[in-house]
Structure 1
Amino acid sequence: MGCCSARCMLVLLCCLQLITTLERQVFDFLGFQWAPIMINFIHIIVVILGLFGAIQYRPRYVILYLLWMLLWLSWNVFVCCLYLDLGGLSKESDILSLRLSPHRSWWKENGPNCQSELLPSTDWQNPGNPQLTTVLSCWLEYQYIEVLHGITQLFISLPAFVYACYVVSLFSNEVDTFDTINEYHSPSKPPHFFH
């Protein structure tokens, strides 16, 4: 197989998935988002198995990778919808932390160029005692960073899914050809002219 074969592309896409998922895992740990931490961990294991299957010609591992990719794609669509408040979902809910902690996305307070400013509140009921409120001004809001992570995973995972399907079909064709050759040249069967 050449270096631009489907198998090599699948290996490359699996490596990209590992890198981007490990980066995402770090920031989910920092934000104590337990559901993404567990799903990212499972994804890392399955991608390693898929990588092993592609390198070692193990179609069962690649099929496991394919089945997981369907769940992974669904998960990333869910995360994008959650952070964009689509479909009745809310980014302010504690679904991703499994209601175990009040933590949110790490990017909420640590986004690119985020600066917190203390401003007096505009409480019209108590003008004599102004309270200070914290306002974060960020270059890019945290929900868009999380959506970009999800979209990045989708853009890597969709071609990986297509290449994995193709690799499985190639592996099954090679196994069929190999089995056909073994039927004709099997050492356990005596040739017909010895009968």
Structure 2
Amino acid sequence: MAQLAALERQIFDFLGFQWAPILGNFLQIIVVILGLFGTIQFRPRYIVVYTVWTALWVTWNVFIICFYLEVGGLSKETDLMTFNISMHRSWWREHGPGCIRRVVRPSTPGILDDYSYVSVTGCIIDFQYLEVIHSAIQILLSLIGFVYACYVISIFMEEEDSCRSK
């Protein structure tokens, strides 16, 4: 489930050219695969890597929530998520449920059509709340995965201890 949620998020971050979340999602996908492999192959170290990453992933998603809700001086209007490479923003900004997108021509002659001249109206839910919902789902899935990983590690350690005592 966490794998599908990260993949879905990766797709929409690619559509918005948000490079920081793309990198984070990629690492999440890799580490979830590593954690699954560790569970199937009885490799507790891989699962420990997964649990440590999960703590970092929760922290990243809390940052994303703070970013989009503009907590503590953060601004969703900055190019932080694109590493200041481009002017792109969240894909949901223009394509959210119910959003009507209109390209507004620049008032100054000679300026090329730019991403900043797009008018979006009628959204059922604002894009920042969709991003917050995505991050909240990631946090919930990560916490469930963390608890499960700790449980699996404890089972592996009990089996290891029982094998040593025989």
What's 1:152 paired with? 137
TM-score, normalised by the number of residues in structure 1:
0.75
What's 1:6 paired with? none
CA–CA distance in 2 between the matches of 1:82 and 1:133? 22
Structure 2 unaligned runs (5+)? 105-116
Match of 1:171 among 125, 147, 156: 156
Match of 2:65 among 67, 80, 88: 80
What's 1:3 paired with? none
What's 2:114 paired with? none
Q: How does 1:21-40 map to 2 (within 5 A)?
A: 21-40=6-25
CA–CA distance in 2 between the matches of 1:24 and 1:144? 14
Give the direction of change, closer, same or farther, for the CA distance of 1:118–1:164 in structure 2 (3 Å limit): closer
Q: How does 1:40-59 map to 2 (within 5 A)?
A: 40-59=25-44
CA–CA distance in 2 between the matches of 1:158 and 1:44? 16
Confirm or deny: 8 A CA contact 2:94 2:120 kept in the other structure: no
Q: Which structure: larger Rg? A: 1
How far does residue 32 in structure 1 lie from its aligned partner after superposition? 0.3
How far does residue 23 in structure 1 lie from its aligned partner after superposition? 0.2
Secondary structure of the residue aligned to 1:67 is helix
Give the direction of change, closer, same or farther, for the CA distance of 1:118–1:60 in structure 2 (3 Å limit): closer
| Counterpart code for 1:156 | L
RMSD, matched Cα: 1.7
Deviations 1:100-148 (A, max 9, x none): 11100000011111113689xxxxxxxxxxxx98342211110000000
Give the direction of change, closer, same or farther, for the CA distance of 1:179–1:118 in structure 2 (3 Å limit): closer
Runs of 4+ in 1 over 6 A off after TM superposition: none
CA–CA distance in 2 between the matches of 1:23 and 1:148? 13
**1:180 aligned to 2:165?**
yes
Confirm or deny: 8 A CA contact 2:99 2:120 kept in the other structure: no
CA–CA distance in 2 between the matches of 1:143 and 1:174? 46
Q: Which has the higher helix share?
A: 2
Of all paired residues, the percent bearing the same amino acid is 53
TM-score, normalised by the number of residues in structure 2:
0.88
Confirm or deny: 8 A CA contact 2:101 2:118 kept in the other structure: no
Secondary structure of the residue aligned to 1:49 is helix
How far does residue 55 in structure 1 lie from its aligned partner after superposition? 1.6
Number of aligned positions between the proteins: 154
Structure 1 unaligned runs (5+)? 1-15, 120-131, 182-195
Give the direction of change, closer, same or farther, for the CA distance of 1:34–1:133 in structure 2 (3 Å limit): closer
Deviations 1:21-52 (A, max 9, x none): 00000000000000000110011000000011
| Counterpart code for 1:70 | A
